Structure 1
Amino acid sequence: MFFSSLCVTSDLLLKVRSEMKSSPVRVVDTFLIGRFILLAVMSLVFLGCLFLFLIYHLMEPVYAKPLHSS
């Protein structure tokens, strides 16, 4: 089992390396700025939701019940 996995792994590594040498292709991320804008918007929405959760759920006032005197 070990030797068969070793053979398959080495075969795949050699194929990938030979393909990379024959055709140098540059990968360019064209959506980089859009991804950062999306991350910033999602972070702001998360912080806003966290702030509203703290105000309306965790800091909700608890009123004392009136004492009944007899």
Structure 2
Amino acid sequence: MSLILNETLKLQANALDRASTACLTVGVLAPGAATVYSVTDSEIAAWVFILGTAIWFFAALVLHLAARRTLKGLQS
């Protein structure tokens, strides 16, 4: 029974970690690339970029930490 539980927990942790990677890509890297290539020039866009990046980065961090916490439930 613990083998099934361990595999289920690993799948859940992997899903959470993939979601954190997606948050990082969509919320941090994509807007960063848009800024580097000067897609927007307004001052408001800069604040939206900073705030949005912080929120998405925090979401990615929370999901990653949740994945790590999930793995602590593995049984030997």
Q: When the two structures are superposed, what TM-score results if normalisation uses the length of structure 2? A: 0.43
Q: When the two structures are superposed, what TM-score results if normalisation uses the length of structure 1? A: 0.46
**Greater gyration radius:** 1
RCO comparison, higher one (Cα < 8 Å, 6+)? 2
